[in-house]
Chains A and B, each alone.
Chain A
Amino acid sequence: MADVGRTGDLEIGQALDFQRRQWFIQRVGWVAMALVILSALAGLMGAGPLSHASVGSPEGDLRLMYPRFDRRHAPTEVRLEIAGDAIREGEVQVWLDQAFLDRIELEQIIPEPEEVFTGPDREVYVFRAGSDPGQPIDVTFQFQQDAFGVHSARVGLVDGPQLAFWQVVYP
């Protein structure tokens, strides 16, 4: 709806009150835009210092590095550090809970597991230790998030410690 008023000789729909409110809102918006950029730089919207998180078992034999804030369909990874004393008979069995696996698109596991089998509500990955028995193993799961929201997930060693963590996944 055009509302036409008069300013001097001009027939024009100026609305100075609206204009002033708009200037104010725009300036608030600029601050908001700056805050969005700063929070993204800090890692609140994906990779960055505030996103980097880790959780470990009390015994210190299992540690998980994961991004607290992730984005749907963006490549991401979690890294498991398994201490040498958690490795039994030259192998270690890592499990991820099925609910977590259902929400992601698993792309690669480094190193590649020797064997994979499905347990109750979980998937188990078997890794063989190197020739040096006390050597820790680092396992990296590379994947994409498939569902956005706030998710909690669990990961652990068969007959060993388990870790729970949560992630915020942006659309």
Chain B
Amino acid sequence: MDSIVRAVVVYAVLLLLFRIAGKRSLAEITTFDFVLLLIIAEATQQAMIDNDNSMTNAFLVITTLLGLDVGLSVLGQRSRIVDRLINDVPLVLVEDGRVLKDRMTKSRVDETDILQSARQEGLERMDQVKYAVLERSGGISIIPKEAG
């Protein structure tokens, strides 16, 4: 019972912290972000496992975490508000070639981030971007202006 309570608490606290930190936090993983993720995992693990190194405990914790994940995704499919609370909403940052500065500042995205994603689409300049969307996952997708 103990391990399930631990897993639920850890899941809830992590979900809350990462939602507060915002989707930009660890979305585009740099080398340092990756190291940070490992450290977070290490710090979490101790609290979740406590001193119980049994396989049963490990399976219980994993089952609880995955169960919560599946449960919340099912709930998210049925309720729009749960879906938004857990998964966030997409946000248009460049609308029809117009750069929406205010939204970018608030989501901690700058033009270099958008240009980086644009380059991955083979674009060279900001004026070739028709739409840029900050996705729920934290990535930026780019829709180029039609040629001509």
Contact = CB atoms under 8 A, between A and B. Distances in A.
A7 to B, nearest CB: 5
A interface: dominant SS: mixed
A122 interface: no
B133 A12 contact: yes
Interface of A: 1-3, 7-10, 12-15, 18-19, 22-23, 25-26, 29-30, 32-33, 73
Contact of B143 (A2, A10, A13, A18): A10
A32 B76 CA distance: 27
A29 B16 CA distance: 9
B10 to A, nearest CB: 11
A19 B80 CA distance: 14
A38 B6 CA distance: 25
B77 interface: yes
Contacts, number: 55
B interface, over-half SS: mixed
B138 to A, nearest CB: 13
Nearest to A21: B84
B20 interface: yes
A13 B80 CA distance: 11
Given A1-B79, A7-B95, A23-B106, A18 B84 contact: yes
Nearest to A25: B20
